[in-house]
Amino acid sequence: MDREFIIKNQIVERYLAGRLPPKGVTDFEKLIRSRPQLIDELGLADKVNAGLRLLDAAGVAEPWTEKPKKFWETPVFGMSAAAVAIAALIGCVVLAMQVSSRNATIASQAQENIERPIAPSTRKRTVIVNPARNGPPARSTLTISHGDFAEMKVDLSWTRYSAFRVSFDRVDQGRVAVLDGMEKDSNSHLRLSLNAGAFGPGDYLVTIEGLTMRREAIPVAWFKLSVAR
């Protein structure tokens, strides 16, 4: 490759346009390094300057100009993303600690409920109960306190049944106990004795059903029992 070959084959123009094959690029650059005076002889500098003027007139940045970065490539975005990641990590750690603490508390309370002994009664109460006959009452019939051993005498003198089934249901929760085959005493009282400490605080609906000769249960009386702390 010499000066005449370069001019004849438009090597400069093709080089600047990027149309030279790899070997031609290598040979041309090797020749320029060995003979720098060819830059002036071939008018290479003028052609480069003319190309740059065209780029400037067209509003196109020079090839060596650093391209504007996308917003996610800026340092501010990187630092913001790092801050968000650190905050999320801290939040996860705090949440994990809270969940662990809550689970430990639940497990402790569950174990306490299992192991907690029934509190002994410290006083005895005898109460005459007049139950409702037309359905569950809206309000509590009687209240017993923690530590009471309540002996309830339910007056059933008005009913012909002599045997009964008694159900205890915690209001809005579920059944607690069922006493079957209960009978009236000589005063037509149905005796029910319980330790308030064996029941959690709350309201309990007591349903009394009369038992027929065929052991069919017919609801006949109701009363509501409140257990206070």
Tokens at residue 135, please? 């359905």
Task: Name beta bridge partners: 202.
Answer: 227
* The Cα angle at residue 97 between residues 95 and 102, in degrees rounded to 5: 95
**DSSP label at residue 18:** T
Within this chain, do residues 91 and 171 fall inside the same structural domain, yes or no?
no
Tell whether 86 is covered by a domain.
yes
Distance between CA atoms of 20 and 28, rounded to whole angstroms? 9
Within this chain, do residues 31 and 103 fall inside the same structural domain, yes or no?
no
Within this chain, do residues 101 and 159 fall inside the same structural domain, yes or no?
no
Within this chain, do residues 134 and 161 fall inside the same structural domain, yes or no?
yes
Within this chain, do residues 53 and 80 fall inside the same structural domain, yes or no?
no
Within this chain, do residues 90 and 10 fall inside the same structural domain, yes or no?
no
Distance between CA atoms of 54 and 48, rounded to whole angstroms? 10
Residues 6+ apart with CB under 8 A from 164: 156, 182, 183, 184, 190, 208, 209, 210, 211, 220
Residue 155 has pLDDT above 90, yes or no: yes
Within this chain, do residues 208 and 149 fall inside the same structural domain, yes or no?
yes
Handedness of CA 48, 54, 55, 56 (dihedral sign): positive
Full residue range of the structural domain in which residue 129 is found: 123-228
Using a pLDDT cut of 70, give the percent of the chain over it. 77
Within this chain, do residues 138 and 167 fall inside the same structural domain, yes or no?
yes
If we measure between CA atoms, which residue out of 126, 134, 174, 129 comes closest to residue 155? 129
User: Hey, which of 21-25, 37-41, 108-112, 210-214 has the most confident mean pLDDT?
Assistant: 210-214
Q: What is the pLDDT of residue 166?
A: 95
Within this chain, do residues 96 and 10 fall inside the same structural domain, yes or no?
no
Tokens at residue 225, please? 């029992």
Within this chain, do residues 52 and 144 fall inside the same structural domain, yes or no?
no
**DSSP label at residue 19:** -
pLDDT by residue (tens digit) across 66-76?
566 666 667 77
Tell whether 66 is covered by a domain.
no
If we measure between CA atoms, which residue out of 58, 53, 225 comes closest to residue 152? 225
Answer yes or no: are the C-beta atoms of 208 and 133 closer than 8 Å.
Answer: no
Tell whether 62 is covered by a domain.
no
Q: What is the pLDDT of residue 57?
A: 65
Within this chain, do residues 38 and 129 fall inside the same structural domain, yes or no?
no
- Three-state secondary-structure class, residue 154: strand
Distance between CA atoms of 225 and 171, rounded to whole angstroms? 10
Tell whether 18 is covered by a domain.
yes
If we measure between CA atoms, which residue out of 136, 139, 138 comes closest to residue 168? 136
Within this chain, do residues 87 and 147 fall inside the same structural domain, yes or no?
no
Give the end of a domain, one of 45, 80, 115.
115
* 81 vs 220, more confident: 220
Q: Look at the chain and report how many structural domains it folds into.
A: 3
